[in-house]
C-alpha cells in the first residue's frame, strides 16, 4: 500500500514558518536601530569618517563644512589627527590619494587657524 503525500504539507509548512518568523522578529525579539554620533565610533570607523570628510573637501573645497564635520568627532587636535592618519596610511602601503586628501585638509585647516 502506497501513500501519496500531497503538496499541502509543504505549503502549510512554509506558511506556518513564515508566520512564526514574522511574529518572532516583530513582536518577541525586535531589532531597534540606535543613532550614534560620530564621536562614539571606534577608531577604525573614525578614520574612515575622517577620510570621507577629506575626500568631500577634495571634491568641493568647502573648508567650513569640513571643519564642522570634523568637530563632530570631538578630537582634541583635529589637525594632528588628520596628519597622523595620513602618515599611517602611507606607512601601511595605503592609498596615496587618500593620504594626500587627508594631508591637504590638515594643511588647509592649519592655514586657516594661523594668523
Residue 107: its pLDDT value, please? 94
So where are the chain's domains? Answer: 38-113
Instruction: Report H helices in 1-115.
Output: 8-23, 43-60, 63-71, 78-91, 96-113
pTM here is 0.69
Instruction: Report which of residues 5 and 111 the model is more confident about.
Output: 111
Q: What is the mean pLDDT of residues 62-79?
A: 93
Exposure class string for 39-64: b at 16+ Cβ within 10 A, else e = eeeeeeebbebbbebbebbbeeeeee
- Residue-level pLDDT at 27: 85
| 86 pLDDT above the threshold of 70 | yes
Output the CA angle 21-22-23, nearest 5 degrees.
Answer: 95
Higher confidence at residue 76 or residue 32? 76
Amino acid at each position: 500500500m502506497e501513500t501519496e503525500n500531497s503538496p499541502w504539507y509543504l505549503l502549510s509548512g512554509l506558511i506556518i514558518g513564515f508566520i512564526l518568523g514574522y511574529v518572532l522578529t516583530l513582536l518577541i525579539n525586535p531589532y531597534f536601530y540606535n543613532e550614534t554620533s560620530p564621536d562614539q565610533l571606534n577608531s577604525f570607523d573614525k578614520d574612515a569618517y575622517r577620510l570621507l570628510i577629506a575626500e568631500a573637501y577634495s571634491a568641493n573645497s568647502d573648508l567650513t563644512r569640513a571643519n564642522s564635520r570634523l568637530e563632530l568627532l570631538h578630537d582634541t587636535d583635529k589637525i594632528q589627527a588628520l596628519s597622523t592618519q595620513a602618515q599611517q596610511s602611507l606607512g601601511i602601503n595605503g592609498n596615496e590619494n587618500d593620504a594626500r586628501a587627508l594631508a591637504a585638509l590638515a594643511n588647509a585647516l592649519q592655514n586657516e587657524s594661523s594668523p
